[in-house]
A = this chain, B = another copy of it.
Amino acid sequence: MRKIFQADLEALGDQLVEISQLVSTAMERAYESFDEADLELAERVIADDARIDFLQLALDEKAIELLALQGPVATDLRTVVAALRMSSSLERMGDLARHISQLARLRYPENVAPASIAPTFKRMAQLCISMAQNVTALLESRELDLAKQIVKDNMELNELHSSVFAAIADPSWDADAPSTVDCTLASRYFERYGDHAVSVARKVSYLVTGEWESTLPGI
C-alpha cells in the first residue's frame, strides 16, 4: 500500500509540473500577443486556457480520490492538501495570462500599451515567465534556492507595478483614459501572476522544511 501511495503522490507532482509548464507557456504567448498586437496568438492563449482548467479539475479529482482511498496522514496529507492549493494558484495564473491576451484582443489592431511604458511591461513579463519556469523547476527538484529567486523576482515585479502607477501619475503621461485603464489592468494582472507564483513557492518550501515563515524572508 505504502509503495502505491508514493507513486500516486509522484503522479500528483507530475500533474502540477504539467500545469505549471502550460501556465508558463501561456504567459510567454500572452505577452507576445500583448506586445505585438497579435490577434491570432491572443485567441490561441484564450482558447488554450480551457486545457489548464481541465487539468486542474483532473488533478483535484485525483487528490480527493487519494484522500478517500488512502487516508494519508502527516506529511503525505499535507502534500495532498498543498497540491490542491497549488493547482488553484496555477489555474489563476493561467486566467491572468488569458486576461493579458483579452486586453490585446480588445484593443486590436492597436497596441495596448503606449510606447513609453512598453519596456516596463516587457520586464514585468520577463519576470513572470522566469518565475513560472522556476515554479516548474521547484516542483520538480524542490531546490529551495529556486523559491528564493521567485520571491526576489516578485519584489522587482512589485516595484515595477508601482512604477507603472507613478508613470501614469506623471504630467508627461499623455495616453487616453481607456489606455490608462488597460495599462492599470495589465500591470495588476502581471502583479497577481507573480503573487500566485510566490504562493506556490511558499507551499513547496513549507513541505520541504516544515516551517512556514522562516525560509522565505520578505514574504
Contact = CB atoms under 8 A, between A and B. Distances in A.
A178 B184 contact: no
Contacts of A177: 168-169, 173, 175, 177, 180
A190 to B, nearest CB: 14
- When all copies of this chain in the complex are counted, the total is 2
Contacts of A47: none
A114 B202 CA distance: 40
A188 interface: yes
Contacts of A71: 71
Contacts of A188: 185, 188
A165 B173 CA distance: 19
Interface stretch (A13-21, A25-33, A80-88, A148-156): A80-88
Contacts of A118: none
Given A168-B181, A177-B169, A185-B188, A67 B81 contact: yes
Interface residues of A, number: 24
Interface of A is mostly: helix
A74 B68 contact: yes
Q: By CB atoms of chain B within 10 A, which of A64, A67, A77, A169 has the most?
A: A67
A78 interface: yes
Contacts of A84: 81, 84-85
Contacts of A4: none
Contacts of A173: 177
Nearest to A180: B180
Interface of A: 64, 67-68, 71, 73-74, 77-78, 81, 84-85, 88, 165, 168-169, 173, 175, 177-178, 180-181, 184-185, 188
